[in-house]
Every structure is written in structure tokens, then in C-alpha cells.
Structure 1
Amino acid sequence: MPTLRVWDLPTRLFHWALALSVIGLVVTGNVGGSWMNWHFRFGYTVLALLIFRVVWGFVGGHWSRFSTFVRGPGEVLAYLRGKSRSEHHIGHNPLGALSVLALLTMLAVQVGTGLFADDEIALAGPFATLVSSDMAGSITRYHKGLGKLFVILLVVLHLAAIVFYRLFRQKRLVRAMISGDQEVSANAEPSRDSTGTRWLALALFALAAVAVYALVDFGYAAAGY
């Protein structure tokens, strides 16, 4: 079958950078100790990546835009009943889109709670002093408990879906996220993946990184650190 450029390079780099950062978050958070400094850095990286992805969801390649892959309840039910349209099989299908949105949302919540977390020993998020100690304690317990569990479960679900589609639907989702191209059975609009869009993505991520740095610096400065 012919191939179509579905995932532009910025989307692919975002995907793999996010995957590595989440692995780093889980590992450093479990190891603890001096590795918590890296835990914070991975958290800030994830926050910058999420900000970039939200913006890219409006200006990125065709199949990376929320307007393209986020479907309504009717289309999700139709997909589950086997009444999907051809475009549902390009990029994120309606069910996969829900999984992606859930994962991005829970990562945002997890990183957000980390900004307010406080272990009451040596480490605290940049905004921990903006809330009461009881509130900071509750946020920290969620961050280290349910929040982390939710993220891990969604990652496992994501991986299970990849295996399912490879074994039972003969779809190589990982290969598509590496090469950017996907085999399609119908004519469809390709994603823009030009030098210009790549420079735009780099500029947007740089702005997101600067915004996160300024946010964290402001938080710690306000706390007197």
C-alpha cells in the first residue's frame, strides 16, 4: 500500500523525548536520594514538552492537530462497533485519541502536583510554600501514590495497545512513529513536515522551556530560596 507522512518530525521527537523523560521520572522518583534532583529536572522537561504539544496541537502537522484526531462520542462508538471511516485508521484512531488525551492530562496533573509537593525533609517544589503545609502534604501523597500509579497504568495501557495492534491488526505503530510514514488504503492529506515547520517547532519548544524556567525561578524566588 502507498505510504503517507502522518507524523512530522517535531511530533516524533516529542513522543520519544516524553517517553524517555517519563521513564526518568519513574526511575529517579523510586531511587530517591540525590537522584531527586534529576527527578525535578525530568519533571520540568515533561512540563515544557506538554506545553509544546498543546501549542503544536493547533499549528502542527495535519495529523498532529487536535481538530484532526480528537473525535466525539458518536465517532468513538462507531469505531468500537466496526463502523469507522477511513480517516479513523490514520494516525490516532478515535479510541487511541482518548488514551493519548488521558495520558497527557494525567502527566500534566502529575507534574503540576509536583510543583507543590514537599517531603518536609530536604526537597520541595517551587510553589510548595504557596499552600498550607496540610495541603502540601495531601498533594505530595497524591503525587507519590495515586498520581504515579495512574501514569504507570496509562503507560502500560498504551504499550498494550501497541502490542495488540501489531499482533491482531498488523499495524506497526512504533515504526510509523520512527519514520513518520504510515501505510494507507485511501487518499488523505499528508502532514506538513518541512524545514520551516521544524524551525517553528524548535522555536516553540524553546519558548516553552524558557517559560518553565521562568516559572520555576519565580516560584523559588518567591519562597525565598
Structure 2
Amino acid sequence: MSTPVRIWDLPTRLFHWALAICIVLGIVFVKIGGNAMQWHAYCGYAALALILFRVIWGFIGSWHARFTNFIPSPAKLITFLRGQVDGGLGHNPLGALSVIALLSVILIQALTGLFADDDIFFQGPFAKYVSNNTVALLTSIHRFNQYFIFALVGLHIAAISYYHLIKRENLIRPMITGDKSLATKPPLEVEIDSFRQRMLALAVFLLISLGLYFLIA
């Protein structure tokens, strides 16, 4: 009989799905254009708050959320690629690298958006503080970087589909429920998804959101 084991804490799960919603809505609003660009900006602000939260949570969060516990060393990555070890309970080494890549490109997108100017519908809140050449450069990066996001999101979805269809492992359910079904409970006993951790995550996210609000407003 399989045993449900908590892997992903609630803050990590909420971050994952909230960021996915921000990305989808951000794309929709930019395609609509016009007045919808303001909502595109709101999605960017929310994504920035989420990314900053995830970076902090990667140092103070629960076991599987911490960078030190899932970012692989070169040796571990090579061993995994050779099929000599399994991926572990949380992110496997390739999944960990994709997480870092996604966080990086979305952070770049959100930050450059603060300085972007399309000369028609939208000007980032910080565009007026830098030179026109800087605005043009950051706007170009913002436009080009979206293709990296599309590519990484596509790879993310492809990997999930591969694991579901080929390896018969559902990666979506644990990111909803937080639990993985294991044949035996692992010996690792650490605090994962406690009330204290949830309140800490809420406090961190609220502080980040308030800071960004007063910085951008």
C-alpha cells in the first residue's frame, strides 16, 4: 500500500500556480493590446513579487523548496543523466535546472518591463528615470526574452507530459495536493508545510508586495 508523503508545502504550490496564471494572463493582455496593457503590467508586478518571494523562500522555506536541497552539483547531474540514480522526492536534477532557468528569465522579463516603453500604450514606471538609449535597450530585451520564456514553458510542459505518458508518473497532482504516493515513507523527518512555515511565507510575501507597491506607485 502506498503512503502519501508531503513534498511540496502550500507556499510553493501557491507560488507555482499563481506564477502560471500571471504568465498566461500577461500573454493574453499583451496580445489584446490597448488599455489591456495596463493589466499586462499588473501581471508583471505580480510575477516580480512572486519571483522575489520564491528566491527568499529558496533559502528559508521547507526542505524541498530550498535551493541547497535540489540544485544539483555537476557530478550529481552527470550521474542522473547516466541513469545511475533516481531523481529523488522533489525536483530531479534536470527539473531543478529548469526551475532556475524559468525563475531567471521571468525575473529578467519583470525587471525590464519596469523600464519598457512601446511608444504607444505603455511606459514602465521607471522608464522616466533612465536615458532613452537605456529604455530602448531594456525594451528590446523585454521583447526578445519572451521567446526564452515560451521555450522553457514548452519544455516544462513537454517534460510533464513525458513523465505522465511514458514513465507513468503524475507530476501535476503533487503540485496540487502537495503529496507524493510512495511505497515506503522516507526516513527523512523534517518540518514541511507546518502552520508556522505558512505564516512565515505569508509575512514574507506581504512585505515584498507592500515594498513593490510603494516603490512602483
TM-score (norm 1): 0.90
Q: Structure 2 counterpart of 1:81, which letter? A: R
Is the CA contact 2:115–2:124 (under 8 Å) kept in the aligned structure 1? yes
Distance 1:188 1:101, change over 3 A: farther
How far has the Cα of 1:151 moved from its partner? 0.6
Q: Distance in 2 between matches of 1:75 and 1:2?
A: 27
What residue is the counterpart of 2:119 in the other structure?
120
Of 156, 175, 178, 1:177 maps to 175
Question: After TM superposition, what 4+ stretches of structure 1 lie above 2 angstroms from structure 2?
Answer: 183-186, 188-191
What residue is the counterpart of 2:211 in the other structure?
211
Q: Distance in 1 between matches of 2:191 and 2:139?
A: 41
Tell me the SS of whatever aligns to 1:89. Answer: coil
What residue is the counterpart of 2:103 in the other structure?
104
Provide the aligned C-alpha RMSD in A: 1.4
Higher helix share: 1
Distance 1:188 1:32, change over 3 A: farther
Percent identity reads 45
What residue is the counterpart of 1:151 in the other structure?
149
Is the CA contact 1:114–1:140 (under 8 Å) kept in the aligned structure 2? yes
What residue is the counterpart of 1:196 in the other structure?
196
Is the CA contact 2:127–2:135 (under 8 Å) kept in the aligned structure 1? yes
Q: Distance in 1 between matches of 2:97 and 2:114?
A: 26
What residue is the counterpart of 1:13 in the other structure?
14
Distance 1:112 1:205, change over 3 A: same
How far has the Cα of 1:140 moved from its partner? 1.1
TM alignment of 1:64-79, pairs within 5 A:
64-79=65-80
Is the CA contact 2:35–2:121 (under 8 Å) kept in the aligned structure 1? no
Q: Unaligned stretches of 5+ in structure 2?
A: none
Distance 1:49 1:152, change over 3 A: same
Name the count of aligned residue pairs: 214
Tell me the SS of whatever aligns to 2:180. Answer: strand
Q: Distance in 2 between matches of 1:121 and 1:133?
A: 15
Q: Structure 2 counterpart of 1:21, which letter? A: C
Q: Distance in 1 between matches of 2:208 and 2:183?
A: 37
How far has the Cα of 1:200 moved from its partner? 1.2
